[in-house]
Amino acid sequence: MAKVEKTLTKSEIQKKISSYGFVIVLMAIVVVMSLIAPSFLTTRNIMNLLRQISVVGIAACGATFVILLGEIDLSVGSIIAFAGVLYASFQFFMPVPFAVIGAVFFGWLIGLVNGWIITKTKIASFVITLGSMAIVRGFALLYANGRPIFGLKESARWLGLSYIGPVPLMVILFVLIVSISAVILKMTKTGRFVYSIGGNEEASYLAGIKVSLYKTLSFGIAGLTAGFGGVLLTSRLGSGDPIAAQGYEFDVIGAVVIGGTSLKGGSGSVIGTLFGALLLGILTNGMNLLGVNPYWQQVSKGFIIIVAVLIDRQRQKKL
């Protein structure tokens, strides 16, 4: 009996380490960065860091739904850029709230189209979204004539530049979207079905779950959050740039995977994605403060993502 109790205790300890290990790593990185870059823990830098990760973090919330299904969406960076140029254009001839809604709507629509094509053709999401990545980026360039759209009204920049107390509004919106996404995934039928489909698609279908519907909805959510991220990016920068957010798809997917969501689907969380986005943001910010070559920064990000995938693979083998 004593042996059983010892085994259970050991199992519980391993579970605790698995649950909180990422937080410990994150805290360790913060400590190291604060020691080697004295300006890292200044209020100004922390607020700048949080604002920088907000766009990627918001898009990563939607991408979490897709990856939980065992799918992938490579079009998020292009959607961010397209929504950004649409917002920059719309705000000239309609009230800012409608410009926001219009730009986000098109992001959502692109996501739905991605999901619909994937479910109807049964072609791998990697292939379909690779194509839509190029198509949407092309539309962004065509719409903006290959040039940034400048001249945003002051009211159109409110979302990206405003503060509530000492905290940037972008950061508050990021936390709000993380919270909403977490509630949907953990407390609604949609969330339960997303986990179920990612865990075993065939069994979910046989259980009566409308697999195609929930896949399409999940891609729509990814498009919606990417679209909103594009609005915030344009609002912050003051222009809608059709070549903005290049490579963001890797940061978005990286944040989700580093945060513990399995590429096979069925396990993970938006809270993990939040920590993944924080880790990438802290590393990038710290390397910028230290003057690390941007090319080496890309190498570092890629290495971290590969390590995260390998860890996930080992975890899957133990299940």
pLDDT band at 313 (very low <50, low <70, confident <90, very high): confident
pLDDT at 318 over 90: no
Residue range 78-108, pLDDT digits in tens: 999 999 999 999 999 999 999 999 999 999 9
Residue 21 pLDDT? 64
Q: What is the pTM of this model?
A: 0.91
Residue 1 lies in a domain: no
What is the pLDDT, as a whole number, of residue 306?
A: 87
Structural domain includes residue 300? yes
State yes or no: pLDDT of 237 exceeds 90: yes
Q: Residue 6's pLDDT is what?
A: 45
Q: Give residue 50's pLDDT.
A: 92
- How large a percentage of the chain has pLDDT more than 90? 74
Position 163 pLDDT exceeds 90: yes
* pLDDT digits 0-9 by tens, 167-198: 999 999 999 999 999 999 999 999 999 999 99
pLDDT > 70 in the chain, percent: 92
Mean pLDDT of 64-80: 97
pLDDT at 1 over 80: no
Task: Flag whether 303 is in a domain.
Answer: yes
**135 occurs within a structural domain:** yes
Q: In this structure, is residue 27 part of a structural domain?
A: no
**Residue 39 domain-assigned?**
no
Looking at the predicted structure, is the pLDDT value of residue 2 above 50? no
Q: For the residues 20-49, what does the mean pLDDT come to?
A: 84
256-288 pLDDT per residue, tens: 999 989 999 998 999 999 999 999 999 999 999
Q: How confident is the model at residue 310 (pLDDT cuts 50, 70, 90)?
A: confident
Structural domain harbouring 197:
52-287+295-318
Q: How far apart are the C-alpha atoms of 86 and 92, rounded to whole Å?
A: 10
Residue 268 maps to a domain: yes
Give the chain's domain count. Answer: 1
Decide if 12 is inside a domain: no
CATH number at 195 reads: 1.10.3470
Residue of higher predicted confidence among 300 and 134: 134
d(CA 138, CA 153): 26
pLDDT surpasses 50 at 5 = no
3-state SS of the chain is CHHHHHHHHHHHHHHHHHHHHHHHHHHHHHHHHHHHCCCCCCHHHHHHHHHHHHHHHHHHHHHHHHHHCCCCCCCHHHHHHHHHHHHHHHCCCCCHHHHHHHHHHHHHHHHHHHHHHHHHHCCCHHHHHHHHHHHHHHHHHHHCCCCCECCCCHHHHHHHHCEECCEEHHHHHHHHHHHHHHHHHHHCHHHHHHHHHHHCHHHHHHCCCCHHHHHHHHHHHHHHHHHHHHHHHHHHHCCECCCCCCCHHHHHHHHHHHCCCCCCCCCCCHHHHHHHHHHHHHHHHHHHHCCCCHHHHHHHHHHHHHHHHHHHHHHHHHC
